[in-house]
Amino acid sequence: DADVTQTPRNRITKTGKRIMLECSQTKGHDRMYWYRQDPGLGLRLIYYSFDVKDINKGEISDGYSVSRQAQAKFSLSLESAIPNQTALYFCATSDLQGPHQETQYFGPGTRLLVL
Amino acid sequence: AQKVTQAQTEISVVEKEDVTLDCVYETRDTTYYLFWYKQPPSGELVFLIRRNSFDEQNEISGRYSWNFQKSTSSFNFTITASQVVDSAVYFCALSEPYNNDMRFGAGTRLTVKP
C-alpha cells in the first residue's frame, strides 16, 4: 500500500462549487503539505502543517482552506471553485529527523478540472 | 525569497547519450537544502536526492550524478547512458530550514528516444 494517498485522483467540478481533496499518510510523519502544479510553474505551496494544531499559509493560499483532522489526515478545500484552480494537486509529508534531515514524500496527485 | 531556475524547458536525447539538467538557485540563507525529484508520465513525484548546503561533495548513484557548486549556486543533475525509462519531468527544489517553504523550479521535460 502507498504511504501517502490522495482522494479523489481525478475530479471535475463546476465554478462556484465547494470541493474537498483528502490526503492520508501511513508514514507517521508530523509534517504535511499541499501543493499545486501548473505547467511551466513547477509546484507551489498552498498550505502546510507541522502538527494537528498547526496550520500555515504557503505561497498561494488565497481561495483555499485546510483542515488537519489527525496526524495522518490533511484536507484541502476549495470553498468556491474557479477555473484557474484547475491544476494537479499534490499532498506531501515529511519527518524532520534533525537539522538538514527533511525530505518530502509526495502522494500520487489529484487532477482537478473546474469548468 | 528563495528562487529556483531550471532554464531548460525540454531536452531530447537519444538513448545512451549523457544528459545534464541544470538548476540554479537563489537564497539569502547560508543553510539550505537542495532536492531533485522525478515525475514520470504516470504523474507521481519521486524523490531522487537531498543535498545540504554545507556538503559540497558530489554524489553518484548508479547512472545518476549530481554536481553541487556553491560558488555558482548550481546543483546540476547528470544522467549517464540515458534510457527510455528516464523520460520524465525533473524538478529541482530548494528549502530553507527556517521558513519551511520549499520552492520548486518549473521543471525540465526529458525525452529519451530509442
- Put simply, whether A40 touches B (Cβ < 8 Å) is yes
CB pairs under 8 A between A and B: 61
Judged by average pLDDT, the poorest of A70-74, B3-7, B51-55 is: B51-55
- Put simply, whether B98 touches A (Cβ < 8 Å) is no
Name every residue whose Cβ is closer than 8 Å to that of residue B5 and which is 6 or more positions away in sequence. B23, B24, B25, B26, B105, B106
Asked if A58's CB is within 8 angstroms of B101's CB, the reply is yes
pLDDT at B111: 97
pLDDT tens string B7-45: 999 999 999 999 999 999 999 888 888 999 999 988 888
pLDDT tens string B55-71: 777 778 889 999 999 99
Cβ-based burial of B5 (10 A; exposed 0-12, middle 13-18, buried ≥19): middle
Asked if A33's CB is within 8 angstroms of B102's CB, the reply is yes
Asked if B52's CB is within 8 angstroms of A103's CB, the reply is no
pLDDT at B95: 85
